Amino acid sequence: MAEIHELSAVALRDALRSGELSARQATAHFLDRIAASNPHLGAFITVTAEQALADAAAADTRHARAATKGPALPLLHAMPTAFKDLTDVAGVVTTHGSAALEHKPAPADGALAAALKGAGVVSLGKTQVPEFGLTAYSENRIAPPSRNPYALSRSSGGSSGGSAAAVAAGLLPFAPGSDGGGSIRIPAAACGLVGLKPGRGLVPAGESTGDPARLVVAGPLARSAADAALLLDALVPPENAPQASGRSPGQPHAAGPRGSYLQLAGQDPPRLRIGVSLDSPWQAVFPNTADREALDALAAGISLLEAAGHQTGEAAIRYDNRYPGAFTTAWTAGVGSARIAPQREALLTPLTRTFRRRAQQRSAAKLDEALGFLRQFERDTVAQFAAWDLVLSPALAQTPRPVGWFTGAAHGDGYWPAAERATDADEDYRKQCEFAPWSSLVNVCGLPAISIPVHWTGGAPGSGVPMGIQLVGRQGSEALLLQVAAQLGF
């Protein structure tokens, strides 16, 4: 058998269920890899080795009982994973990536941890995040930055950057992320993974400090479409499970036999009309030009899609130029209401502190106005996207950025004081919007989208750094997006 970490998540699941591997073997293997690699990778803030081994022993006991006609094993029996450090896990500190908060163990599991623990996972710890999940890079003041496994000088993205780095480096078979403006798809693209943001309402929302625009949703980070589908099956409540026969793009849930996303991901998709667009709702304020590597990834994606029999064509999408202000107002509203002691506010990063102050100075009427605009933006954009089965863009406009690039802080393995940060909050934010100009609009529209790693800057998988494409589907098209990713060989 291959090394445990070289197995796909589906193969590892099968080995654990059959008894070929014990839960303790799998857990110990991944804990050993974390111990060896995390000091230079920075993927984990907290490793809960003792609790993980205890949970693995309990899983082995459960497996022995099931073998003698005891209760059936849960879907993800003994599968190792970890939660980004915005998610409460009972008995483990939730830092939210912030030095300004008191770090106390969570009294209970959050919704995401409860759902996956109920499905049988063994949690190995908490992964690195930016402060309150606000940025497209996973750097903060409490732990070393999360780095890209393919180029340690570069970022793994954010806000699910620690989770993505851990999966890409073989420290986890897969991991849940949460996505409020690209926080699954950005690190997936940076780390060469499949990252799926489900549509609004399919799975319980991911954790955040406040989400008045209903932007945030939990979804899988994995090395393949099949592995992502397996984790999605555990995230989706039974009442939202897909029909066994699948659904056509945009078809709502209906009564009938229920299947699984893993089953559906193995089926070929129908021939699709795919609109290609470089238009971005940020371009009125932050004119963006996709780097050569991003255009190369887009060309590679188009070539793969057309070779698979799909039709592509230019999709000219018009966006209202009021979007940047409205999105920023909604995105930063939660940090304004976060409970932070006044004497600890100086411990916030400059970006968080700036946007917190602005949110607190903003009137409730101004927030309501922004939310009303975003609802209209959703209707207008969904109507334009409806001309196509899927809409294609690069996943990122630039290659994964160097660690410290967004903040202007050149630093090594440690973390850094405020005096070392040369970039102000608005410059930091501008860089992020230019780095990922096609991600946040998908959250505003509540649509599903997937990042697929179709290109490497060195010309071959594993050489250089990865670059991906983003495919946006209609409501209810999660299975279709997974099918397309699998059809393209991922």
Catalytic residues: 84, 159, 183
H helix intervals, 68-129: 111-118
Q: Quick one: DSSP state of residue 210? A: -
Rounded CA-CA distance 362/64 in Å is 58
Rounded CA-CA distance 310/247 in Å is 18
Is 472 strand, coil or helix? strand
Phi first, then psi, for residue 386 (nearest 5°) are: -65, -15
**Residues 6 or more apart whose Cβ sits within 8 Å of residue 479:** 229, 242, 246, 247, 261, 264, 265
Strands (E), 198-284: 217-222, 273-276
CA 335 from chain center: how many Å?
20
| Cβ–Cβ < 8 Å for 286, 308 | no
Amino acid at 195: G
| Cβ–Cβ < 8 Å for 29, 4 | yes
Rounded CA-CA distance 447/473 in Å is 6
Handedness of CA 352, 353, 355, 360 (dihedral sign): positive
Is 417 strand, coil or helix? coil
Of residues 115, 128, 129, the one with CA closest to residue 231: 115
Q: Buried (b) or exposed (e) across 431-448, using 16+ Cβ within 10 A?
A: bbbbbbbbbbbbbbbbbb
449-456 sheet: strands from edge to edge: 174-179, 217-222, 194-197, 449-456, 466-473, 390-394, 273-276, 311-314
| C-alpha angle 85-86-92 in degrees, rounded to nearest 5 | 55
**Residues 6 or more apart whose Cβ sits within 8 Å of residue 49:** 31, 124, 125
Handedness of CA 335, 355, 99, 221 (dihedral sign): positive
H helix intervals, 308-349: 323-331, 333-337
